[in-house]
Structure 1
Amino acid sequence: MSATTAEPRPLVAPAPEGPVRGRRVLGVAGVFVAGLVLLAVLSAWHLTQGTAHLSVGELLRAVWPWASDDGARQQAVAVLVSSRVPRLLAGLLVGLALGVAGTVLQSVARNPLASPDTLAVNAGAYVSVVAVAAFGLALPFFANGLVAFVGGMAAAGLVLAVARGGAGGPTRLILAGSAVALALDALTTVLLMLFQEKTTGLFAWGSGTTVQSGTHQVALAAPIVGIGVAATLVLAHRLDVLGLGDDTATVLGVDVRRTRVVSIVLAVLLSAAAVTVTGPMGFVGLGAPVVARLVARRVPGLGRHLLLLPFAGLVGALVVVAADVVLRIVVPADVSISVPTGVVTTLFGASLLVWLARRLRDGGPAAASTTRGAGERCAPGPG
């Protein structure tokens, strides 16, 4: 009589795929909707702030197409078109660009401390623009953006070369980026002091300001940012695979070297476009991706780069607009024009960097050797 072996029954019945996928879609959609609603509220609040005293009713009449065309409405329209709407659009565009750029750099380096600031991309772009201005050259927008792009690429390449592409751990990457950024900032300060007449207006711009005179620069930069964001979304799947490790990515058919090079070029392109519009906006490229990844840990499905990249851009826009709103609440309206928004974002990013420094462990060679030494001491002896 032959014995039959029954198949082991699972202790927990697998959840049906349909409901789980539906909950994930609802969760991701809910996060995006909540972010967009919050951004809309902050944007509306942002439009009410400025040196010209305009009530909410006057602003609503300015955008209402059937409102009477009186003098008050014309004044409100002029204020919105010439100052407040360009300022808001600049904040939204720069936040989107830096949020996506920071996420790409962190994914390529597999390091949450990588950003346009810590890799000296912003410092390289800024010193290049100042150097050109110091020689008395007045370049158009696209040529100025090209100069910023070349400077950012050179600085990022130098940092990655010193830090061995981030393989030396977060500490080495931050030290290399800080050293290069400090050197470039010192060079920028020297140029600003020696050529004060030719670099007039670049000092405040160097801290990141959303103040704009019209929408000309934003309109020119928007297609570049759009193309850059779209190109990063094309690389989203490769970035997902790259997170599994170089060997696994190579086995799965991803050209690791080419993916890294293209990704860094796109990130520097987005950062250079942002610097050209508002100057280097401090630590937005670090803070927005970190916040986006923290939210993605609690929302299943949001961690894929196809969704994480636009969500980080949304968080970046929230950070810049919220910083501008907070600045104009704390500082009087007539003084807030001369205070760059980048001061607030830098304070936010510095606090976040301290929190990350206390939370993260260095995974570099020093940590590995320490682990090996502890293991050797704890290993039992022979006999």
Structure 2
Amino acid sequence: MFKWSNVLPVGIMCTLALFAKADAPQHTVPFVQNKGQWPKQILYKSALSSGAIYLEKNGWVYSFYDDAPLKDYIQKWHSKDFNRNYEGHQFSMKGHSFRVNFTGGTNDAEVVSEQKQHYYYNFFQGNQKEQWASEAGAYSSVLYKNVYEHTDVRIQKLNMGVKYDILLHPRAQINLVKLCFTGADSLWLSEGKLYIKTSVNTVVEQRPYAYQRIKNAEVQVPCHFVLDKNELSFSIDGDYNKNETLVIDPLLIFSTYSGSTADNFGHTATYDSKGHLYAGGITTGAMTGGYPTDTGSFQQTFGGGNGPFPCDITISKYSTSGDSLLFATYLGGQGNDYPHSLVCDNNDNLLVMGTSYSRNFPTTLTAYDTSYNSSSDIIVSKFSIDGKQLLGSTFVGGGGVDGLNN
């Protein structure tokens, strides 16, 4: 049976379009460092289109979902005829996860982050302060060093998918490199590509491209996949220079989703005295990437007393020009949390007012009210100027329904 840990995943909001330049560079969700906000076996995590990838010590885990039911539910939620006060609404979503591990490698591989970004992430999720995390680093790539003798593996996040490079240094043996796939419905090779079939999508690894850098020139080396049941290896067609590093470079493309990939929604925005821009919104990632403790297909049911659809508050701070992310912060609990208004005080600390359905919404020790009352409560939270500290956070409400934004 598929089980989920009680984790709220990363998914950066897309409300920059409210005020960013039209020609601003597109932000790609990087690999985010685990500083205690996720289970300890996760080293880094990145959001994917309709899913997530989790990097671990000996490989990585993909988790995807079919978001068509979510899209349909959101459309109903925004309909004027939809009864938002009814707590019995439910819908189910199907998902699938599979694992890719290095087979027969060394036991002393070192996992090293690369290309650190100038922005960072903060996580204030739940009312257990020891599970909060600030200034989690963001990286464009992660290097697995010495996975096999004289062999490294670099994984990168690109706009169109995920790319990993196998770096065979001098004296490396290509026949040792084997990737084991666990949890996929089926795997097959066609026209040199690897197809990974799950119950919700098909992942394609493009035909591998291998090359060497010799005298500042890129020399292509013919290469192809070899698939033995659920184990993938690589074969070189011919000879190559054993005294130079050989790079094998496949690219993964995620395809055949049945629904929309949009799961982030903008709600509010503001600015501080220096002109920095803040965007407040929600991410439905609360249901798309809780860490899978098993592989294969699964199904989850949402709603029914947890508010409309599962979501967390996301707060992003941008440069004065609106084209550079400075930090992103996630705020919420196990239920549903929505921002309604943002404002900066005289010291440029950010205040967030919203509505929460979460019994464990993060509150601070000296808060006006640290107890969730019932149904929905108004929440007010205050962040430091750098987003790293939750200066104050409280419930405001009585025994009835509070803070509904109709």
TM-score range relative to shorter protein = under 0.3
Greater relative contact order (CA < 8 Å, ≥ 6 in sequence): 1
Whose helix fraction is larger, Structure 1's or Structure 2's? 1
Rg larger in 1 or in 2?
Answer: 1
TM-score, with normalisation over the residues of structure 2?
0.21
